[in-house]
Amino acid sequence: MRLGTHVLRNTLFVAPMAGVTDRPFRQLARRFGAGLAVSEMVGSRLELRGSRKSRLRLVHDGEPAPVSVQIAGADPAMMADAARYNVDGGAQIIDINMGCPAKKVCNVHAGSALLENEPLVARILEAVVGAVRVPVTLKIRTGPDPGRSNAVRIARIAEAAGIQLLAVHGRSRACGFSGPVEYRTIAEVKGSVGIPVIANGDIETPADARRVLEYTGADGVMIGRAAHGRPWIFRDFEHFLATGERLAAPGAAEIGAILLEHLAGLYVLYGEEQGVRVARKHIGWTTRGLPAAEEFRRMANGIDTACAQRTAVEQFFARLAAGDAALALGQRGANDRYAAARIPHAWDARERRAA
């Protein structure tokens, strides 16, 4: 896929997730095969740019091209200015957030709240596209609520405004992250526009990705929660979609090395104190389903120095390494059990029959 002058390795996208897809996570995901990793959402309001949180979200040093930055807001002029500001700071793609259902975002009429106001959507998109000379992409939901699906109309507005790629989370704003994903709506969006459409929502396994691509006709998939603690899954998705075969699950040594690399990146970006705090959730996600993970997670959450945290992770995976073959099978099983628990939401019986 080509976006402007950028040719992407594939059409596997990392969903922008606040508090997750910071620079260390994006770097790992890209190294393991993601074609594009969109940054955490940054606000368009001028007074927020100087905050520590905003500054850290705009650190792109060492990040592979193309750098995609997601912006959020409800004022066309402010969004245009935010786009220019981020391009000046190194963004090579600007992504517009019209998909976030969080109350604190929607309460200021941004994110998926914008889907209520189609004329404003058009003004924002036109302002941002006109403000920068880099590709502009858009992420949306299916509509304000299940009874008011307007994704097709929004998609046509986006294409007319010059948006070059559209990602669709197959739920409405009201649904948040629960309930079945409307893959049928994503298929309708794909059939209504000529720009690339990326499917998003409960795509947990490589097999899910293939089913969704076949059913919707989408040009690619966007992976979010399934990548928590597992940045290597993009390697699995890429291989399966190319060959139809599953890769062997990573063993203890590789998982431990990946996690330690992730921790090192967090310490550098955030500093030791905050880096240790941010790392705790990644440790929990990465060790999920492994032997003695719960006990280790509880212990690790009480650690408050980088050295001790790193040592604990090293020792945990060293203890597992002796049973590496069993771990690999257990890790595959844990991944599949986690995905299976979500499949009724991701691919309900009605959608399977339609497909």
Q: Give the β-pairing of 165-169 and 68-72.
A: unpaired
Helix, coil or strand: residue 164: coil
Q: List the structure tokens of 11.
A: 């059409």
- The answer to whether residue 100 is catalytic is yes
d(CA 84, CA 132): 6
d(CA 135, CA 21): 20
E runs forming strands in the chain: 2-3, 6-7, 12-14, 36-37, 42-43, 68-72, 93-98, 136-141, 165-169, 197-200, 220-223
d(CA 120, CA 114): 7
308 touches 169 (CB < 8 A): no
98 touches 140 (CB < 8 A): yes
C-alpha of 145 from chain center: 22
d(CA 14, CA 8): 13
d(CA 350, CA 355): 9
Q: Which amino acid is at 310?
A: R
Q: Give the β-pairing of 2-3 and 6-7.
A: antiparallel
d(CA 305, CA 16): 28
Name the active-site residue from 100, 106, 175, 307.
Answer: 100
Q: List the structure tokens of 210.
A: 């293939």
198 touches 165 (CB < 8 A): yes
- 305 CB contacts (<8 Å, ≥6 apart)? 272, 276
Active site residues: 100
